[in-house]
Protein backbone atom coordinates (compact mmCIF):
# COMPACT_ATOMS: atom_id res chain seq x y z
CA UNK A 1 0.00 0.00 0.00
CA UNK A 2 1.23 3.46 -0.90
CA UNK A 3 0.43 6.85 0.61
CA UNK A 4 -2.13 9.55 -0.02
CA UNK A 5 0.51 11.91 -1.33
CA UNK A 6 2.05 9.28 -3.62
CA UNK A 7 -1.38 8.54 -5.09
CA UNK A 8 -1.91 12.26 -5.69
CA UNK A 9 1.47 12.48 -7.41
CA UNK A 10 0.55 9.57 -9.69
CA UNK A 11 -2.72 11.28 -10.64
CA UNK A 12 -1.22 14.71 -11.27
CA UNK A 13 2.21 13.85 -12.67
CA UNK A 14 1.79 10.47 -14.40
CA UNK A 15 -1.84 10.42 -15.49
CA UNK A 16 -2.75 14.07 -16.10
CA UNK A 17 0.88 15.14 -16.63
CA UNK A 18 0.20 18.69 -15.42
CA UNK A 19 2.79 21.24 -16.52
CA UNK A 20 3.75 24.55 -14.80
CA UNK A 21 1.36 27.37 -15.56
CA UNK A 22 -1.56 25.16 -16.59
CA UNK A 23 -5.08 26.11 -15.56
CA UNK A 24 -6.62 23.26 -13.54
CA UNK A 25 -10.19 22.90 -12.20
CA UNK A 26 -10.58 20.77 -9.06
CA UNK A 27 -14.16 19.77 -8.18
CA UNK A 28 -14.61 18.15 -4.78
CA UNK A 29 -16.96 17.84 -1.81
CA UNK A 30 -16.69 18.05 1.96
CA UNK A 31 -16.31 14.31 2.46
CA UNK A 32 -13.34 14.25 0.09
CA UNK A 33 -11.45 17.12 1.69
CA UNK A 34 -8.35 15.08 2.58
CA UNK A 35 -7.98 13.74 -0.97
CA UNK A 36 -8.65 17.18 -2.48
CA UNK A 37 -6.04 18.76 -0.19
CA UNK A 38 -3.43 16.22 -1.33
CA UNK A 39 -4.25 16.80 -5.00
CA UNK A 40 -4.21 20.56 -4.55
CA UNK A 41 -0.84 20.35 -2.79
CA UNK A 42 0.74 18.43 -5.68
CA UNK A 43 -0.87 20.76 -8.24
CA UNK A 44 0.70 23.74 -6.49
CA UNK A 45 4.03 21.89 -6.43
CA UNK A 46 3.66 21.68 -10.20
CA UNK A 47 3.03 25.45 -10.24
CA UNK A 48 -0.43 25.01 -11.73
CA UNK A 49 -3.17 27.64 -11.50
CA UNK A 50 -5.91 25.91 -9.51
CA UNK A 51 -9.60 26.79 -9.30
CA UNK A 52 -11.22 24.67 -6.60
CA UNK A 53 -14.99 24.15 -6.27
CA UNK A 54 -16.71 22.44 -3.33
CA UNK A 55 -20.08 21.01 -4.38
CA UNK A 56 -21.89 21.78 -1.12
CA UNK A 57 -21.17 25.48 -1.68
CA UNK A 58 -23.78 25.35 -4.46
CA UNK A 59 -26.63 23.79 -2.50
CA UNK A 60 -27.78 20.81 -0.44
CA UNK A 61 -27.10 17.22 -1.51
CA UNK A 62 -29.77 15.10 0.22
CA UNK A 63 -28.98 11.40 0.53
CA UNK A 64 -32.43 10.38 -0.72
CA UNK A 65 -31.98 12.13 -4.08
CA UNK A 66 -35.06 14.28 -3.56
CA UNK A 67 -33.18 17.39 -4.72
CA UNK A 68 -30.08 16.35 -6.68
CA UNK A 69 -27.56 19.12 -7.11
CA UNK A 70 -27.61 20.87 -10.48
CA UNK A 71 -24.37 21.52 -12.34
CA UNK A 72 -23.44 25.19 -11.79
CA UNK A 73 -22.74 27.40 -14.78
CA UNK A 74 -19.65 28.86 -13.10
CA UNK A 75 -17.94 25.46 -13.08
CA UNK A 76 -18.85 24.97 -16.73
CA UNK A 77 -17.24 28.32 -17.53
CA UNK A 78 -14.10 27.34 -15.62
CA UNK A 79 -13.88 24.03 -17.51
CA UNK A 80 -14.07 25.86 -20.81
CA UNK A 81 -10.97 27.86 -19.86
CA UNK A 82 -8.94 25.03 -18.28
CA UNK A 83 -6.47 22.56 -19.76
CA UNK A 84 -6.84 19.94 -17.00
CA UNK A 85 -9.57 19.06 -14.51
CA UNK A 86 -10.28 16.63 -11.69
CA UNK A 87 -13.60 15.47 -10.25
CA UNK A 88 -12.75 14.08 -6.78
CA UNK A 89 -16.09 13.76 -4.99
CA UNK A 90 -18.86 11.36 -4.03
CA UNK A 91 -21.86 10.52 -6.17
CA UNK A 92 -25.24 11.17 -4.56
CA UNK A 93 -28.55 9.83 -5.82
CA UNK A 94 -29.80 11.64 -8.90
CA UNK A 95 -26.56 13.51 -9.53
CA UNK A 96 -25.49 11.38 -12.47
CA UNK A 97 -28.21 13.08 -14.52
CA UNK A 98 -28.18 16.57 -12.95
CA UNK A 99 -24.48 17.13 -12.23
CA UNK A 100 -22.00 14.58 -13.57
CA UNK A 101 -23.43 14.11 -17.07
CA UNK A 102 -23.61 17.89 -17.73
CA UNK A 103 -20.11 18.22 -16.27
CA UNK A 104 -18.75 15.57 -18.64
CA UNK A 105 -20.51 17.25 -21.55
CA UNK A 106 -18.66 20.44 -20.61
CA UNK A 107 -15.42 18.46 -20.39
CA UNK A 108 -15.94 16.93 -23.84
CA UNK A 109 -16.80 20.29 -25.38
CA UNK A 110 -13.33 21.66 -24.55
CA UNK A 111 -10.89 20.15 -27.09
CA UNK A 112 -7.86 21.07 -24.95
CA UNK A 113 -9.05 19.59 -21.66
CA UNK A 114 -7.61 16.50 -19.95
CA UNK A 115 -10.03 15.23 -17.28
CA UNK A 116 -9.50 12.82 -14.36
CA UNK A 117 -12.80 11.44 -13.04
CA UNK A 118 -12.41 10.21 -9.43
CA UNK A 119 -15.96 9.57 -8.28
CA UNK A 120 -16.30 8.28 -4.69
CA UNK A 121 -12.56 8.63 -4.19
CA UNK A 122 -11.26 7.93 -0.68
CA UNK A 123 -7.92 7.94 1.12
CA UNK A 124 -7.92 4.12 0.93
CA UNK A 125 -8.38 4.16 -2.85
CA UNK A 126 -5.62 6.74 -3.23
CA UNK A 127 -3.28 4.52 -1.20
CA UNK A 128 -4.20 1.37 -3.17
CA UNK A 129 -5.44 1.78 -6.74
CA UNK A 130 -3.70 5.10 -7.36
CA UNK A 131 -0.43 3.77 -5.94
CA UNK A 132 -0.13 0.91 -8.46
CA UNK A 133 2.71 0.82 -11.01
CA UNK A 134 0.98 2.29 -14.06
CA UNK A 135 3.72 1.06 -16.40
CA UNK A 136 2.58 -2.51 -15.63
CA UNK A 137 -1.09 -1.58 -16.09
CA UNK A 138 -0.35 0.00 -19.46
CA UNK A 139 1.57 -3.04 -20.70
CA UNK A 140 -1.14 -5.52 -19.67
CA UNK A 141 -3.96 -3.33 -21.00
CA UNK A 142 -2.27 -3.24 -24.40
CA UNK A 143 -2.11 -7.05 -24.47
CA UNK A 144 -5.79 -7.38 -23.51
CA UNK A 145 -6.76 -4.87 -26.19
CA UNK A 146 -4.77 -6.70 -28.85
CA UNK A 147 -6.78 -9.86 -28.17
CA UNK A 148 -10.21 -8.42 -27.35
CA UNK A 149 -10.68 -5.76 -30.02
CA UNK A 150 -10.73 -8.37 -32.79
CA UNK A 151 -13.17 -10.66 -30.96
CA UNK A 152 -16.75 -11.35 -31.95
CA UNK A 153 -17.73 -13.27 -28.80
CA UNK A 154 -16.63 -13.38 -25.13
CA UNK A 155 -17.79 -16.03 -22.66
CA UNK A 156 -17.66 -15.28 -18.90
CA UNK A 157 -18.17 -17.77 -16.05
CA UNK A 158 -17.54 -17.81 -12.30
CA UNK A 159 -17.85 -20.21 -9.33
CA UNK A 160 -20.77 -18.09 -8.05
CA UNK A 161 -22.89 -19.01 -11.08
CA UNK A 162 -22.08 -16.37 -13.67
CA UNK A 163 -22.41 -17.80 -17.18
CA UNK A 164 -23.06 -15.41 -20.05
CA UNK A 165 -21.88 -14.65 -23.56
CA UNK A 166 -21.38 -11.18 -25.02
CA UNK A 167 -21.59 -10.62 -28.76
CA UNK A 168 -19.50 -7.74 -30.10
CA UNK A 169 -19.84 -5.39 -33.05
CA UNK A 170 -16.75 -5.12 -35.25
CA UNK A 171 -17.52 -1.46 -35.98
CA UNK A 172 -17.71 -0.40 -32.33
CA UNK A 173 -14.53 0.70 -30.58
CA UNK A 174 -12.67 -0.84 -27.65
CA UNK A 175 -11.19 1.75 -25.30
CA UNK A 176 -7.89 1.28 -23.47
CA UNK A 177 -8.14 3.03 -20.11
CA UNK A 178 -4.68 2.69 -18.60
CA UNK A 179 -4.07 5.97 -16.79
CA UNK A 180 -2.83 8.02 -19.73
CA UNK A 181 -5.25 10.95 -19.98
CA UNK A 182 -5.47 12.96 -23.19
CA UNK A 183 -7.80 15.69 -24.47
CA UNK A 184 -9.38 13.03 -26.69
CA UNK A 185 -10.32 10.77 -23.77
CA UNK A 186 -11.08 11.57 -20.15
CA UNK A 187 -10.39 8.74 -17.70
CA UNK A 188 -11.61 7.36 -14.41
CA UNK A 189 -8.87 7.20 -11.78
CA UNK A 190 -7.70 4.83 -10.41
CA UNK A 191 -7.41 3.29 -13.83
CA UNK A 192 -6.86 -0.07 -15.43
CA UNK A 193 -9.52 -1.46 -17.77
CA UNK A 194 -10.24 -2.21 -21.42
CA UNK A 195 -13.89 -1.75 -22.40
CA UNK A 196 -16.45 -1.53 -25.16
CA UNK A 197 -20.24 -1.68 -25.49
CA UNK A 198 -21.88 -5.07 -25.89
CA UNK A 199 -23.95 -5.37 -29.04
CA UNK A 200 -25.98 -8.04 -27.27
CA UNK A 201 -25.59 -10.48 -24.38
CA UNK A 202 -27.37 -13.56 -23.07
CA UNK A 203 -27.05 -15.59 -19.89
CA UNK A 204 -26.68 -14.91 -16.17
CA UNK A 205 -24.41 -12.60 -14.17
CA UNK A 206 -24.10 -13.21 -10.42
CA UNK A 207 -22.88 -10.00 -8.86
CA UNK A 208 -20.79 -10.86 -5.80
CA UNK A 209 -18.33 -7.97 -6.01
CA UNK A 210 -19.96 -4.55 -5.81
CA UNK A 211 -22.55 -2.29 -7.43
CA UNK A 212 -22.11 1.08 -9.09
CA UNK A 213 -23.61 4.57 -9.10
CA UNK A 214 -24.93 5.50 -5.63
CA UNK A 215 -25.33 1.79 -4.74
CA UNK A 216 -21.55 1.72 -4.29
CA UNK A 217 -22.13 3.11 -0.79
CA UNK A 218 -23.43 -0.35 0.21
CA UNK A 219 -19.92 -1.77 0.03
CA UNK A 220 -19.11 -5.27 -1.17
CA UNK A 221 -22.13 -7.41 -2.03
CA UNK A 222 -20.59 -10.85 -1.42
CA UNK A 223 -23.16 -11.49 1.33
CA UNK A 224 -26.10 -10.21 -0.73
CA UNK A 225 -25.36 -11.22 -4.33
CA UNK A 226 -27.53 -9.85 -7.10
CA UNK A 227 -28.51 -12.24 -9.90
CA UNK A 228 -29.20 -10.72 -13.31
CA UNK A 229 -30.57 -12.73 -16.24
CA UNK A 230 -30.61 -11.22 -19.71
CA UNK A 231 -31.53 -12.28 -23.21
CA UNK A 232 -30.69 -10.51 -26.47
CA UNK A 233 -29.02 -7.78 -24.44
CA UNK A 234 -32.06 -6.95 -22.27
CA UNK A 235 -32.55 -7.79 -18.58
CA UNK A 236 -35.31 -10.36 -18.07
CA UNK A 237 -34.88 -10.78 -14.30
CA UNK A 238 -32.98 -9.06 -11.48
CA UNK A 239 -33.18 -10.57 -8.00
CA UNK A 240 -31.52 -10.11 -4.62
CA UNK A 241 -33.19 -12.52 -2.14
CA UNK A 242 -31.05 -11.34 0.79
CA UNK A 243 -32.22 -7.72 0.41
CA UNK A 244 -35.73 -7.37 -1.06
CA UNK A 245 -35.73 -3.58 -0.76
CA UNK A 246 -32.49 -3.36 -2.69
CA UNK A 247 -33.95 -5.66 -5.34
CA UNK A 248 -36.92 -3.33 -5.67
CA UNK A 249 -34.74 -0.24 -5.96
CA UNK A 250 -32.44 -1.82 -8.53
CA UNK A 251 -35.42 -2.82 -10.65
CA UNK A 252 -36.72 0.74 -10.49
CA UNK A 253 -33.29 2.04 -11.52
CA UNK A 254 -33.12 -0.08 -14.66
CA UNK A 255 -36.58 1.09 -15.73
CA UNK A 256 -35.83 4.82 -15.66
CA UNK A 257 -35.75 4.95 -19.46
CA UNK A 258 -36.04 2.70 -22.50
CA UNK A 259 -32.37 1.63 -22.50
CA UNK A 260 -31.57 1.49 -18.79
CA UNK A 261 -32.20 -2.28 -18.73
CA UNK A 262 -29.84 -3.05 -21.62
CA UNK A 263 -26.40 -4.57 -21.17
CA UNK A 264 -24.18 -1.66 -22.18
CA UNK A 265 -20.55 -1.44 -21.12
CA UNK A 266 -18.46 -4.62 -21.07
CA UNK A 267 -15.06 -4.24 -19.41
CA UNK A 268 -12.03 -6.27 -18.38
CA UNK A 269 -10.14 -4.92 -15.35
CA UNK A 270 -6.35 -4.71 -15.63
CA UNK A 271 -5.14 -3.08 -12.39
CA UNK A 272 -3.10 -6.07 -11.18
CA UNK A 273 -1.85 -4.11 -8.18
CA UNK A 274 -5.25 -4.62 -6.54
CA UNK A 275 -5.56 -7.59 -4.19
CA UNK A 276 -9.14 -7.34 -2.94
CA UNK A 277 -12.54 -5.86 -3.70
CA UNK A 278 -13.23 -3.13 -1.17
CA UNK A 279 -16.77 -2.03 -2.04
CA UNK A 280 -15.85 1.17 -3.90
CA UNK A 281 -16.68 0.96 -7.60
CA UNK A 282 -14.12 3.55 -8.65
CA UNK A 283 -11.41 1.09 -7.68
CA UNK A 284 -13.24 -2.24 -7.85
CA UNK A 285 -14.17 -1.94 -11.54
CA UNK A 286 -10.41 -1.96 -12.26
CA UNK A 287 -9.90 -5.18 -10.27
CA UNK A 288 -8.62 -8.04 -12.48
CA UNK A 289 -11.85 -9.55 -13.79
CA UNK A 290 -15.03 -8.43 -15.53
CA UNK A 291 -17.70 -5.84 -14.94
CA UNK A 292 -20.66 -4.89 -17.06
CA UNK A 293 -22.97 -1.90 -16.87
CA UNK A 294 -26.71 -1.80 -17.41
CA UNK A 295 -27.71 1.31 -19.33
CA UNK A 296 -25.39 3.83 -20.97
CA UNK A 297 -22.68 2.15 -23.05
CA UNK A 298 -20.58 5.29 -23.67
CA UNK A 299 -21.67 5.80 -27.30
CA UNK A 300 -19.48 8.89 -27.46
CA UNK A 301 -16.46 6.63 -26.91
CA UNK A 302 -17.46 3.24 -28.31
CA UNK A 303 -19.65 4.25 -31.23
CA UNK A 304 -22.68 2.29 -30.03
CA UNK A 305 -25.93 3.84 -31.34
CA UNK A 306 -27.98 4.19 -28.16
CA UNK A 307 -27.77 6.02 -24.81
CA UNK A 308 -29.39 6.03 -21.37
CA UNK A 309 -29.56 8.23 -18.28
CA UNK A 310 -28.74 5.12 -16.25
CA UNK A 311 -25.35 3.45 -15.90
CA UNK A 312 -25.30 0.70 -13.28
CA UNK A 313 -21.90 -1.01 -13.09
CA UNK A 314 -21.84 -4.50 -11.56
CA UNK A 315 -18.62 -6.32 -10.61
CA UNK A 316 -18.08 -10.09 -10.47
CA UNK A 317 -15.37 -12.08 -8.66
CA UNK A 318 -13.08 -14.92 -9.77
CA UNK A 319 -14.23 -14.93 -13.39
CA UNK A 320 -12.95 -17.06 -16.23
CA UNK A 321 -12.87 -15.21 -19.55
CA UNK A 322 -12.75 -16.84 -22.99
CA UNK A 323 -12.25 -14.54 -25.97
CA UNK A 324 -13.29 -16.29 -29.17
CA UNK A 325 -12.38 -19.56 -27.46
CA UNK A 326 -9.04 -18.36 -26.04
CA UNK A 327 -8.93 -18.35 -22.24
CA UNK A 328 -7.19 -15.14 -21.13
CA UNK A 329 -8.24 -15.32 -17.46
CA UNK A 330 -9.05 -18.21 -15.14
CA UNK A 331 -10.63 -17.68 -11.71
CA UNK A 332 -9.58 -14.04 -11.72
CA UNK A 333 -5.95 -14.58 -12.75
CA UNK A 334 -4.61 -13.46 -16.13
CA UNK A 335 -3.02 -16.11 -18.34
CA UNK A 336 -1.41 -13.62 -20.75
**Of 107, 129, 151, the domain-final residue:** 129
Q: What is the mean pLDDT of residues 26-52?
A: 98
**In the predicted model, is pLDDT for residue 97 greater than 80?**
yes
pLDDT at 133 over 90: no
Please give the C-alpha separations between residue 51 and each of 22, 48, 327, in angstroms, as whole numbers. 11, 10, 47
pLDDT of res. 77: 98
243-252 pLDDT, tens digit each: 999 999 999 9
User: In sequence order, what DSSP letters do the residues of 106-175 get, joined into one string?
Assistant: HHHH-TT-EEEEEET--HHHHHTGGGS-HHHHHHHHHHHHHHHTT-SEEEEE-TTS-EEEEE--TTSPPE
pLDDT over threshold 80, residue 1: no
Which range among 51-55, 133-137, 178-182 has the greatest average pLDDT? 51-55
pLDDT for the residue numbered 132 = 86
Taken in order 95, 228, 201, 157, is the CA torsion positive or negative? Answer: positive
pLDDT band, very low/low/confident/very high, at 185 (cuts 50, 70, 90): confident
Together in a domain, 190 and 204: yes
Q: What would the mean pLDDT of 121-145 be, rounded to a whole number?
A: 92
Residue % of the chain over a pLDDT of 90 = 91
* pLDDT the model gives residue 135: 84
What is the span of the domain harbouring residue 271?
A: 132-334
**Four-residue CA torsion sign, 9, 14, 18, 20:** positive
Number of independent structural domains in the chain: 2
Considering 105, 129, 153, which residue would you say is the last residue of a domain? 129
Three-state DSSP at 85 gives strand
Whether 248 and 156 share a structural domain: yes
Q: In the prediction, which pLDDT does 310 show?
A: 95
- How high is the pLDDT of residue 2? 86
Same domain membership, residue 286 and residue 142: yes
- Whether the pTM exceeds 0.85: the reply is no
Q: What is the mean pLDDT of residues 264-291?
A: 94
Q: Are residues 184 and 153 in the same domain?
A: yes
pLDDT digits (tens, 9 = 90+) for 222-231: 999 999 999 9
Same domain for 330 and 183? yes
Q: What is the pLDDT of residue 292?
A: 98
159 and 145 in one domain? yes
Confidence of residue 65 (pLDDT cuts 50, 70, 90): confident
Do 141 and 210 share a structural domain?
yes
- Over residues 166-177, the pLDDT tens digits come to 999 999 999 999
The string of DSSP letters for 35-77 reads HHHHHHHHHHHTT-EEEEEEGGGGS---TT-SSPPPPPHHHHH
Above 90 in pLDDT, residue 13?
yes
Residues 59 and 182 in one domain: no
Q: CA–CA separation, 33 vs 104, rounded Å?
A: 22
What is the domain-level CATH number for residue 34? 3.40.1830.10
Amino acid sequence: MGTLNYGAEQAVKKCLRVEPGESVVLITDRDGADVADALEHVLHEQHAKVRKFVMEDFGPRPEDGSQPLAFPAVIGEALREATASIYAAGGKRGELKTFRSPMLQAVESNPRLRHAHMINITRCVMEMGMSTDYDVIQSLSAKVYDIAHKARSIHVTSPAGTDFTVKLNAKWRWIVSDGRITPEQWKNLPDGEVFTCAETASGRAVIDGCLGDYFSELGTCETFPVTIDFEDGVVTSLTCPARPELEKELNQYIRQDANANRVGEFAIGTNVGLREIIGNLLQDEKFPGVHIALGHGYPEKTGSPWASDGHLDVVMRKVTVEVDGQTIMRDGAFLI
